[in-house]
Amino acid sequence: MVILFYDYRVIVAGDRYIWKVNAIARYLPDDSFFLLVEPSNQRVYALDLNSDISNSLSAECLSLRSVMFSDIGAESFIAGKANQILEWYRSHQYCGACGGSNLPGEGQRVMHCPTCQTQYFPRINPCAIVLITRGREVLLARSSRFRSGFFSCLAGFIEIGETAECTVHREIKEEVGILVDNVRYIKSQSWPFPSQLMLGFHADYVSGEIVLEPTELEEAAWFDIADLPSVPSAGISVAGELIQLYKEEIERIKA
């Protein structure tokens, strides 16, 4: 089984983006290099194509976001994992220490330099994402960089020397200017844009008025949990799940 990529997009036919190799073999280049994604009984590989074969397969090329945010990707994030592996492979063709050509390792997912023996494993970028609550209200924001129209939780990359909890306090203060406490971890999620581990938190509002950091946020506001704007789906995004979990908590209290 193989997931096909061309020009950073996934080749999809209807609701299928995982292909049987023997069904598409005649359309694949002779020098195709398959990267293992899932080492289960029914192994799944990723293939990065240099030419678009979607027409030959009666398929189309869709962005990874389109695949994952649709019914196609609702059940599985394997396409996201495949994209992360391909991105790592593309960006580590040469050694950053000596400039030599890297080679794929055997027995583990690693690129190594035969000249200086430096090894390059896939890198994960940890991020903290947090739902801030004030009674029945949740603080949600729209990014100034991504015009999706969705309101979501605040998030930021964990910096060198920080704990995830320190990142929560810093990002909230920088982006909306308020103070929080009782920061507690809820759950995590792999997020392939480009290669992140989202650590989901819940925090209680303490004080301060919303003051936007305009380079980061287009808009931020308090919303009643029963009257939310467009938010990410709980089935796709940890942000959506944090919001959904709090909504269910408030409904239990009300009942």
Contact call for residues 21 and 43 (beta carbons, < 8 A): no
Q: Are residues 239 and 135 in the same domain?
A: yes
Residues in CB range of 238: below 8 A, 6 or more apart: 129, 187, 188, 189, 191, 198, 200
CA atoms of 186 and 133, how far apart (whole Å) = 14
Q: What is the pLDDT of residues 152-198, one digit of tens each?
A: 999 999 999 999 999 999 999 999 999 999 999 999 999 888 889 99
Query: Residues 163, 167, 171, CA angle at the centre, nearest 5°?
Result: 175
Any domain includes 67: yes
Q: Are residues 86 and 129 in the same domain?
A: no
pLDDT value at residue 156: 93
pTM: 0.84
pLDDT value at residue 13: 85
CA atoms of 47 and 3, how far apart (whole Å) = 6
> For residue 243, what is the domain's CATH number?
3.90.79.10
Any domain includes 151: yes
Any domain includes 101: no
Contact call for residues 86 and 35 (beta carbons, < 8 A): yes
Any domain includes 232: yes
pLDDT of 73 strictly over 60:
no
Q: What is the domain count for the chain?
A: 2
CA atoms of 42 and 74, how far apart (whole Å) = 20
Q: What is the pLDDT of residues 226-254, one digit of tens each?
A: 999 999 888 888 999 999 999 999 988 87
> Which whole-number Å values give the CA distances from 31 to 25, 38, 50, 169, in the listed order?
12, 21, 11, 50
pLDDT value at residue 72: 58
pLDDT of 140 strictly over 60:
yes
Domain housing 57? 2-90
Q: Are residues 176 and 235 in the same domain?
A: yes
CA atoms of 84 and 120, how far apart (whole Å) = 14
pLDDT value at residue 112: 94
Contact call for residues 17 and 67 (beta carbons, < 8 A): yes
Q: Are residues 68 and 161 in the same domain?
A: no
Among residues 90, 108, 135, the one where a domain terminates is: 90
pLDDT grade, residue 1 (50/70/90)? Answer: confident
Q: Are residues 160 and 65 in the same domain?
A: no
Any domain includes 97: no
User: What is the residue-averaged pLDDT of the chain?
Assistant: 89
Any domain includes 192: yes
Any domain includes 99: no
Q: What is the pLDDT of residues 18-56, one digit of tens each?
A: 888 888 888 888 888 888 887 777 788 899 998 888 888
CA atoms of 203 and 190, how far apart (whole Å) = 21
Q: Are residues 83 and 130 in the same domain?
A: no
Among residues 90, 111, 145, the one where a domain terminates is: 90
Q: Are residues 143 and 45 in the same domain?
A: no
